[in-house]
A and B are shown apart, each in its own frame.
Chain A
């Protein structure tokens, strides 16, 4: 069978679809106890469109490995050992300034992959969701060896590194459209 074509979420994606706590990757359900098997971190940033203007009402979905670098999915050979209390998935909505926020645990690396968080962005005006991957600057050696980060020309690689904030925060802005000098590198999805 041929997959269906994708379309924009449009301007009217129901706000009720994004509930409080959906942006917390450490909970498998709204009332579940959050996983504590790792270092709690907060990822935040803005989604911007052409002209550096905020992209409002964009939907972001995050997907990442647990703190030990495992996915609770049978395509991961070690899935049985994955943290059962960690979902690794979350959804966030950007506000009027284009801001979003996720609460999660620092992901672990696996195989030749450096710790990373996959982000999918959907918005009115985006006919296909766009995918990018966030890396953490402190894992210098792992980042240098990461085959996906290595697909980018070296000058673009810093654009996929989140910037450490005060406390547990990491800032990662996503520029949807801004030409070669400013745009976030995206991956085919």
Chain B
């Protein structure tokens, strides 16, 4: 690689960004989180590389969750979520694979594990996968998800949220995160949202309402940029 050697391209995360684990109020983290500290290894070739052209392996293009069958929109507030996938220098990451999944407007997932009695929407499956363009842009047509309760001894309600899985250019840039909606009263009560210690870092997880002009009427627009770990991490094939 050129002047910028791998170790400086992937520094440790600043404090306050990574969620506290195990996470208070979230019992599952107390049975899954490793109890022993992780070993720190200098980023080497296996960590700074990753599969390119992953969109060939993971077919992309399912961007319309809200109206997969024309004329039969899903129930709920129709929204459009769009943004850019960027590295720590703010450079766009093209060809990133962005996966999204979420509950329907009633807070129910179309998933065998969700056995709650809230209604399923036959016109909403709730997952999609796209590939970022040359400017790192992605976009999904979907609906605003409903809140849902997490069962257990102390039930808590997840605020409306959208799950994102982003496969960027390197193993170290892999990200699984959740997007939240501005001003929801459940946000400050959510153990998962509040597990992020830094308040500014939490705000970065909240989408900004921003009706995109090109989308057209009827779609409430949200902008949500996704910064991945790594500087000059965008691979350029000669």
Contacts and interface: CB of A to CB of B under 8 A. Distances in A.
B66 interface: no
B86 to A, nearest CB: 6
Contacts of A151: 39-41
Interface residues of B, number: 81
24 contacts: A2-B14, A2-B17, A2-B227, A3-B17, A4-B204, A4-B228, A6-B18, A8-B29, A17-B127, A50-B31, A71-B49, A73-B170, A77-B1, A111-B45, A124-B28, A125-B33, A127-B21, A148-B44, A180-B36, A183-B35, A184-B34, A186-B38, A188-B39, A188-B40
Interface string B156-170: 000000010100011
A128 B18 contact: yes
Interface in B11-35: 12-14, 17-19, 21, 23, 26, 28-35
B154 interface: no
Contact of A88 (B40, B51, B192, B205): B51
A123 B28 CA distance: 10
Interface of A: 1-17, 22, 27-30, 32, 49-51, 53, 55, 57, 61, 63-65, 71-77, 87-89, 110-111, 113, 116, 118, 120, 122-131, 133, 148, 151-152, 176-180, 183-189
Contacts, number: 229
Given A125-B28, A127-B33, A30 B174 contact: no
B87 interface: yes
Given A148-B44, A187-B41, A49 B52 contact: no
A57 B113 contact: yes
Interface of B: 1, 6, 12-14, 17-19, 21, 23, 26, 28-36, 38-41, 44-54, 56-59, 86-90, 99, 101, 103, 109, 111-114, 126-127, 129, 163, 165, 169-172, 174-178, 192, 195-196, 201-202, 204-205, 226-229, 235-238
A3 B50 contact: no
A81 B61 CA distance: 31
Sorted from nearest, which 10 A-B pairs have the closest CB atoms?
Answer: A125-B28, A125-B32, A73-B49, A89-B51, A14-B127, A1-B227, A71-B49, A29-B56, A12-B109, A50-B31
